[in-house]
Amino acid sequence: QALEARVEERTRRLADANQRLKEEIADRKELQAKSQFLAYHDSLTGLGNRLLFKEQLEEVLTEEAVTPRPLAGLFVDLDGFKAVNDTGGHSVGDLLLKSIAAKLRDLLAPMDRIARLGGDEFAILQSSGPQPSSSIALAEKIIEVAAHPQSVEGHDVAVGASVGIAIVHPGELNAEAVLKCADLAMYSAKSS
């Protein structure tokens, strides 16, 4: 009876230890998933960040090599955003960024990707639709959405958007070069 009691006690201890181990593994997996999300996403808007966008763009450029179809990289910069931060404060600016980010995301087809690169800059990978007509239509919608006045925490705010477009054929450029071309096109649009 004493032996059976010890075996029963050790079995119970092992079952408890096994349960704790399972819980610890689940906690670690959850923590790892959160860390992975934070590493690849913008904490303010929940959009992908520059790192994720570059990886997605490289992946599509590689996939597109099989299907020779051009795609578009769009670089979006909000015009007048600094004035919003200066007059309303950063909390108003942050809320405006979140609102615009959600609206931009809603403009995209399911296969398209968007990222907040930092500050008031966004990048979009448009792999849906014929180019350049699809990216031009998207840029026009972006400009319209960004220009729509909003009320944020009692402040009436209005910004604009400058959009640069880089059309790339598979195998021509890497992700960094596509971003650079779209960025240069955005500055050209902003200056004109």
Q: Which residues contact 173 (CB under 8 A, 6 or more apart)?
A: 61, 166, 181
Element (H, E) at 109: none
Active-site hit among 27, 120, 156, 183: 120
Residue 106 is among the residues annotated as catalytic for this protein: no
Q: Give the dihedral of Cα atoms 128, 138, 48, 26; nearest 10 deg.
A: -50
Q: In whole angstroms, how far apart are CA 148 and each of 46, 116, 124, 141, 165? A: 22, 20, 20, 11, 22
Tokens of 111: 């296969």
Residue of 142, 16, 13 whose CA lies nearest to 78: 142
List the catalytic residues.
120
